[in-house]
Amino acid sequence: MDLLFDLTRLNDAELEFRSQFPLWIKMFYAAAVTLGFLTSIGLVSRKAWSKSILRISLISVIIQMYQSFFVANSLDYVGNSEVIISCIIFAGAHILVWIANFIKIQNSLFELSN
C-alpha cells in the first residue's frame, strides 16, 4: 500500500509498472540514497569509513538500476528522459567511487582520519 500516492489515478500500464518493484528493491533504493548521503558527508570531512560505505551504496545503486532497466523494462513505460536521469545517477555513483580512490592515491594531499 502506498500512503503517499493515490493508486486509483493510475492507468493499467502504470499499475503494472509499479507492481514490478517489490519491497526489497525499494529498500535497496533507500539504502543507496541514505548511504550515498552519509558517504558524501564522510568524504567532505575526510573520514576513512566513507569509502566502505560508498562501495555498499554503489552496489545498491547497481542492483536497483538492474531491476529498473532489465527486469521491469522501464524504457517501455517511462520516457527517455527518465532513463537518461537514471544513467546520470549511475555515472555519478561511479564518479564518486573514482574520486574516493583518487583521494586514497593522493595520500600526501588528503589525510583520511578515522
pLDDT in tens, 6-34: 777 777 877 777 777 888 888 888 998 89
The pLDDT tens digits for 41-65 are 888 887 878 888 888 988 988 888 8
Distance CA 68, CA 85 (A): 12
pLDDT for res 113: 52
In a domain, 8, yes or no: no
**Rounded Cα distance, 55 and 51, in Å:** 6
Tell me what percent of the residues of the chain surpass a pLDDT of 70.
Answer: 84
Q: Cα-flanking dihedrals φ and ψ of residue 113, to 5°? A: -110, 160
- Give yes or no for residue 75 having a pLDDT over 70: yes
Domain count, the chain: 1
Mean pLDDT of the chain: 78
Structural domain contains residue 31:
yes
- What pTM was computed for the model? 0.70
Which single residue is written with the C-alpha cell 558517504? 39
pLDDT computed for residue 108 by the predictor: 45
Q: Is there a domain that residue 14 lies in?
A: no
pLDDT confidence of residue 109: 46
- In a domain? residue 10: no
Rounded CA-CA distance 84/27 in Å is: 22
Whether 73 is in a domain gets the answer yes
The answer to the question of residue 3 being in a domain is no
Domain annotation covers residue 18? no
Mean pLDDT within 99-106: 69
* Local structure of 57: helix, strand or coil: helix
Domain assignment of residue 98, yes or no: yes
Domain of 98 in residue numbering reads as 23-105
